[in-house]
Amino acid sequence: MSAAIPELAPGSWVAFDFDGTLTRRDSLLPFLHQVLGAPALAAALALESPWLAAYAARLLSNEAAKLRVLRRTLGGRSREQLLAQGERFAAEGVRPLLRPAMMERLREHLRAGHRCVLVTASLSLYTRPWALAQGFHEVLGSELGFDPAGLADGTLVGGNCYGPQKALRLERLLGGEALAVGYGDSRGDREMLAMARLGFFQTRRELVRVP
């Protein structure tokens, strides 16, 4: 894939998805592996397997399946512990997952003076520190909820940043400005890409222009 980017005016808004677009795979499971360790994570996923199978069969929504996994794996853990785990994963765990060509494309946009925003269903616990360190101007992600005692309750504040939620959050951020370019890789990015003047879809092997 060429690193050449569309010619845009400085200050133009460019939106990137994270999992599958900037990365080669999902990032939530590697993060949970870091937090729980392999045996505990495997046990938690085994307990949730009926609902994960329902999600795979499209009988359960992305958000419902995700909430079940988050309650099982992160529920009851302190905000301080999870923020620290997020910082650690941002610094150490994300790099092996990245697509080098897409990261170069991001850097080209930043060098051209474009305003880049990460729009992701992944947890902001780790996507926010990672994205800000890369030069992103804004981060829209799924925000893990905490109870009054500061313990994770397995909810997502404002819902899962997926599908229509991506477009709604972008509209609020842009405040009437146009989205110049969008990059995604799944049906969860469809609405975001439809907002963009130019949309690009990351397949397993290449980046293609959305018709």
pLDDT attached to residue 141: 97
pLDDT attached to residue 1: 44
Q: pTM to 2 decimals?
A: 0.94
Domain ranges within the chain, ordered by starting residue: 13-209
Report, as an integer, the average pLDDT of 17-25: 97
Q: Is the pLDDT of residue 52 over 90?
A: no
Q: Is the pLDDT of residue 127 over 50?
A: yes
Task: Quickly name the fold that domain 13-209 has.
Answer: Rossmann fold (3.40.50)
- Tens digit of pLDDT for each residue in 4-16? 899 999 999 999 9
Q: Are 10 and 113 in contact (CB under 8 A)?
A: yes
CA dihedral 60→25→3→170, nearest 10 degrees, is 40
- Tens digit of pLDDT for each residue in 95-105? 999 999 999 99
Q: Which two tokens stand for residue 128?
A: 């926010």
